[in-house]
Amino acid sequence: MYKKIALAYSGGLDTTVIVPWLKENFGCEVVAVCGDVGQECDWAGLEARALASGASKLIVMDLKKQFVEDYLWPLVKSGAAYEGRYLLGTSAARPLLAKSLAETALAEGADAVAHGCTGKGNDQVRFELGIRAAAPDLEIIAPWRIWDISSREEEIAYLEARGIPVPMKKEDSYSRDDNLWHVSHEGLDLEDPASEPRWEGMLRMCSTPEKAPNVPEYVELGFEKGVPVALNGVRMGGVELISALNVAAGRHGIGVVDMVENRVVGMKSRGVYETPAGTVILDAHARLEQLCLDR
């Protein structure tokens, strides 16, 4: 049995359920660990939510600058786009989150880590390879691969039976991941490939075409050594630049992708992705390469 487990915690439904489940099944202390990579979050209420679910404490790491400089800028320089469309917002963040989780677990004296990735997606591989690389001796617990909970409805019932606040509404239970670079949406009506996304109630960063401005907006990006360093003539750090460009590009509905991708386990998955700033930056970088690089 384990004495202390460090859980990759987001405050969403899955990790809220995992905290009491770990305590009930392993009789251990659970430390909630959250990496701030620019996701939308009620940071003021996150600690209260973690403690209410049974965690002994919450540790939040500010990873935004490292995420941009060590992960997003290399992505931009390489022109990385999955099947030419998806700009890897989730994929780019996972190695950093896994590394930081492992390092925090070791610093806290934990003998295991846990994550909320399902047994059907790519995240389980990303997290576990990252954890193994950073801390080979840490045990890894993946509740979704071993518990008997099989749906979000059962997760909600699990929390309600224990008097733990449910961090979502049943009617809006898209599986979402967001950070400074993007927002992804999966599940519900998107699982039917014939279903048109319900754009109005889904999009978080981008406007629908009906609500986008009818006049163009011009932006100017300044690059140095392949990395954007200025927006509209104002020098700024990467976090600030991406944040500002997300607002400008997002209000024009730029960067929305609806696609089907192939998972490493052999399944296909449909997702809607919003990457406004990333779409503009990668397009600008590609055009800059046309000017600067020999054939």
- pLDDT tens digits along 150-177: 998 999 999 999 999 998 655 566 889 9
Q: Which pLDDT value is given to residue 174? A: 84
**Residue 291's CB: how many other CB atoms inside 10 A?**
6
Percent of the chain at pLDDT exceeding 90: 93
Contact 191, 185 (CB under 8 A): no
What token pair was written down for 198?
């319900």
- Non-local (6+) Cβ contacts of 84 within 8 A are none
Tokens 């460090």 locate to: 6
Distance CA 133, CA 128 (A): 8
- Which residue, 110, 115, 143, is CA-closest to 129? 115
pLDDT (tens digit per residue) in 258-292: 999 999 999 999 999 999 999 999 999 999 999 99
**What SS3 state is found at 214?**
coil
Q: What is the mean pLDDT of the chain?
A: 96
Label residue 20 by pLDDT band (50, 70, 90).
Answer: very high
Query: What is the spatial distance between Cα 135 and Cα 108, in angstroms, rounded to a whole number?
Result: 13
Angstrom distances, CA of residue 285 to CA of 183, 224, 270 = 21, 11, 28
pLDDT in the model for residue 170: 54
Q: Which residues are catalytic?
A: 14, 94, 123, 175
Lay out the sheet containing 183-186: strands in order across: 175-178, 183-186, 268-274, 256-262
Taking residue 230's Cβ as centre, other Cβ atoms within 10 Å add up to 14
Summarize pLDDT for 212-245 with one digit per residue, the tens.
999 999 999 999 999 999 999 999 999 999 999 9
Model pLDDT, residue 279: 99
pTM across the whole model: 0.95
Each residue's pLDDT tens digit, 203-212 = 999 999 999 9
CATH 3.20.20.220 corresponds to the domain 4-172: no
| Arithmetic mean of pLDDT, 10-21 | 96
Domain edges within the chain = 4-172, 175-292
- Cα-flanking dihedrals φ and ψ of residue 251, to 5°? -70, -15
Same fold, 4-172 and 175-292: no
The C-alpha angle 273, 200, 37, rounded to 5 degrees, equals 40
Find out whether 92 and 86 touch, Cβ atoms under 8 Å: no
State the fold for domain 175-292: Argininosuccinate synthetase, chain A, domain 2 (3.90.1260)
Distance between CA 34 and CA 152 in Å, rounded?
Answer: 22
